[in-house]
């Protein structure tokens, strides 16, 4: 057992030296664009987890939801309790197959983008969550080049998180961190409903 | 434009019928085991986003962090503000290459599991977050079969979220929803530090 523990210590000592060097090399502090995409669970919830981290550090948070809005979600119910730190705008009316009205969806998306631009031009907002923006881009409700221009024009220290399936390649190109959430298995396929507290 | 809008409406009408049927088939409400694994960003943050959703719905949340604990994170600073709804236990002392002490890591992991078991036997706790548990399993600090037995023995309506790289196959087997967070790109590789409000 002592040998195993000593081998463990030596291995971890070497690993620490490697990781410390990487951490020393990654010394820039700057606002980043984070994109959560893919078909798996966790894209929006991860964005709201980052909101929690930001709130813990006293950072102001702005949220715009592009699709959600027809039904109050847990994240909205909770984050609205902190109006001095979080501004929450659920500006969608449901998924495209629920609204079934393209012109109205476009008008809603453009209105939501106007709100997003207010956050993106305000250096007091440290984290901007643009929930399901990728869906609005996928359906071309918003012009991806204009969206990217506005994102790149934001204050230098401001972080942005964009969520939704099918992130466009142009957005992935300019993003700093991109994660693809992939389904390994999903309870929904086994007949389990989307439930309060996990999915919404 | 009218033609395009009408085609959109018909396509979305058909899509809605298909999705409504799937939603009708997924009618079970039951506690689920959710696993967030992979090398990408978003595993822990997604778990804390689910905590936010649960809090919005008035659900009690229990958190055990298996690796984190040496440094106060944004999630801990924020969630500790709600002691009546969230019980937060950051019981780790850092990653294995920081502690470099296998016996001590094992003792800490076992202590953390004792706390987890208190949550897993309490039906008043609706969501249990077991952050970085996969790391403790990967290093065999805990016995995966015992952990699974305790997970399966929990109250029927309780949800559990397990995070960390390299989830063991035995855990994936019993989980209801498993997501692999895959790196498409990461700011760290481009020299940007892990920052307050996004990574911790």
Question: Could you please report the per-residue DSSP string of A95-129?
Answer: -HHHH--HHHHHHHHHHHHHHHHHHHT-TTEEEEE
CA–CA dist B7, B3 (Å, integer)? 6
Q: Which of residues 84-103 of B touch A (CB under 8 A)?
A: 96-103
Query: Which residues, 6 or more positions from A21, have their beta carbon under 8 angstroms from its beta carbon?
Result: none
Interface test with A, best of B9, B14, B134, B197 (most A CBs within 10 A): B197
**By percentage, how much of chain A surpasses pLDDT 90?**
68
- Is it the case that residue A148 has pLDDT exceeding 90? yes
Torsion B156-B127-B138-B109 (CA) sign: negative
> Looking at beta carbons, which residues of chain A come within 8 Å of B74?
52-57
Q: What kind of architecture, by CATH, is found in domain B30-190?
A: 3-Layer(aba) Sandwich (3.40)
- Is any Cβ of chain A less than 8 angstroms from the Cβ of B23? yes
What pLDDT shows up at residue B76?
94
A199: DSSP letter: T
Give residue-wise pLDDT tens across range A7-44: 889 888 888 888 888 888 888 889 999 999 999 999 99
ipTM, two decimals:
0.90
- E strands of B74-200, at which residues? 86-90, 125-131, 159-163, 177-185
Q: What is the mean pLDDT of chain A?
A: 93
- Is it the case that residue A200 has pLDDT exceeding 70? yes
The pLDDT of A155-178, averaged and rounded, is: 97
- Is it the case that residue A95 has pLDDT exceeding 80? no
- Is it the case that residue A60 has pLDDT exceeding 90? yes
- Is it the case that residue B107 has pLDDT exceeding 90? yes
What pLDDT shows up at residue A15?
87
Give residue-wise pLDDT tens across range B77-99: 999 999 999 999 999 887 778 88
A84: tokens are 């001095």
The pLDDT of A49-65, averaged and rounded, is: 97
- Is it the case that residue A84 has pLDDT exceeding 90? yes
Question: B116: number of CA atoms within 13 Å, CB side?
Answer: 31
What pLDDT shows up at residue B100?
82
The pLDDT of B178-195, averaged and rounded, is: 91
What pLDDT shows up at residue A1?
60
- Is any Cβ of chain A less than 8 angstroms from the Cβ of B104? no
Question: B73: number of CA atoms within 13 Å, CB side?
Answer: 28
CA–CA dist B92, B139 (Å, integer)? 14
Q: Which residue of chain B is at minimal alpha-carbon distance from A21?
A: B191
Predicted confidence band of residue B146 (pLDDT cuts 50, 70, 90) = very high
Question: Which of B53, B96, B98 minimises the CB distance to A45?
Answer: B53
Interchain pair A184, B186: CB under 8 A: no
CA–CA dist B157, A54 (Å, integer)? 30
- Is it the case that residue B1 has pLDDT exceeding 70? no
What pLDDT shows up at residue B117?
98
Q: Which of residues 56-75 of A touch B (CB under 8 A)?
A: 56-57, 59, 73-75
What pLDDT shows up at residue A49?
97
């Amino acid at each position: 057992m002592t040998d195993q523990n000593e081998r463990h210590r030596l291995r971890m000592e070497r690993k620490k030296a490697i990781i410390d060097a990487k951490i020393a090399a990654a010394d820039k502090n700057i606002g980043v664009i984070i994109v959560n995409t893919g078909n798996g669970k966790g894209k929006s919830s991860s964005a709201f987890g980052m909101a929690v981290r930001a709130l813990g550090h006293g950072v102001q948070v702005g949220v715009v939801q592009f699709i959600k809005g027809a039904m109050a979600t847990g994240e909205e119910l909770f984050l609205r309790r902190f109006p001095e730190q979080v501004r929450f705008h659920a500006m969608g009316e449901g998924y495209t197959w629920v609204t079934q009205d393209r012109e109205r969806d476009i008008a809603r998306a453009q209105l939501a983008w106007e709100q997003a631009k207010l956050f993106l031009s305000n250096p007091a907002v440290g984290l901007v969550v643009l929930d399901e923006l990728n869906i609005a881009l996928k359906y071309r409700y918003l012009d991806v080049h204009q969206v990217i221009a506005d994102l790149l024009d934001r204050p230098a220290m401001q972080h942005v998180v964009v969520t939704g399936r099918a992130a466009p390649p142009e957005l992935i190109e300019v993003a700093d961190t991109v994660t693809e959430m992939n389904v390994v298995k999903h309870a929904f396929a086994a007949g389990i409903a989307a439930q309060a507290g996990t999915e919404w």
